[in-house]
Amino acid sequence: MDEVFKALADGSRRSLLDRLHARNGQTLNELCDGLAMTRQAVTKHLAILEAANLVATIKHGREKLHYLNPVPIHQIGERWIRKFERGKLAALSELKRQLEKRDA
Amino acid sequence: MDEVFKALADGSRRSLLDRLHARNGQTLNELCDGLAMTRQAVTKHLAILEAANLVATIKHGREKLHYLNPVPIHQIGERWIRKFERGKLAALSELKRQLEKRDA
DNA sequence: TTGACATGCAACCATTTGGTTGCATATAAT
DNA sequence: ATTATATGCAACCAAATGGTTGCATGTCAA
């Protein structure tokens, strides 16, 4: 779980996921296209995403195809985000109450 | 949004949010309790959480009370996680298809 | 008012991170 | 066979990160 959060912390990596979400199965060179980064930098980002199980790759001849795995993202939604959504309104109203108490 | 992802990337910070979720409105010293970290380290983490708008604080006399703000977490769920949940099954079946093609 | 307690501020440090360059290797095309 | 293309590997670098220690300040209590 920690690896996934760490992987998602970087904007470049999130945009790589976005690109794969838009078109799955892209090669490394395709993913580099238009980015202000060297190929090797992208390789490193993809390696981190792969270690976090967010992308899976298969080699097809001399090219490496990258596929998005949305499961860890879903798990973060289920196991983490949702926890904070329950009782959200209660927390907000308490915060509001406390902030108002300050001005009193 | 980037600030929120960065803030959530650290396990210590996530556990601070957990603690506030369990009991809202704790002081700095209370939040330090039982952590293998100096008070100043916790202060820094809380500052990052505050900058990301994940916690709000009010000073009450000589103590500072910390309140969880679940809105940014919710937004990440809405604006980011959900996007990858749509079409999840399609992506998975495509991945499976590709992996099987490799073995053929 | 004097001391204790809660927090703030700043300098410093080691490690991690995000990026680079240079070269090596493997596969496809001529 | 030779050349071009796609990727891999490793060393290096600056900046950010997560943590520390030491001291200052503000507030409550005796």
| Backbone Cα Rg of chain B | 19
Contact B102 A74 (CB under 8 A): no
Q: pLDDT tens across B11-44, in order?
A: 999 999 999 999 999 999 999 999 999 999 999 9
Chunked into runs of 10 residues, chain A (104 residues) has average pLDDT values of 97 98 96 96 98 97 96 94 75 54 43
User: Closest nucleotide (CA of A35 to C1')?
Assistant: C19
pLDDT given for residue B101 in this prediction: 46
- Give the tokens for residue A80: 């983490």
Decide: CB of B29 under 7 A of nucleic strand D: no
pTM: 0.85
The answer to whether the CB atoms of B84 and A8 lie below 8 A apart is no
- Strand D close residues, chain A 35-54, CB < 7 angstroms: 39-40, 43
Instruction: Quote the CA–CA distance of A11 and A29 in Å, as a whole number.
Output: 19
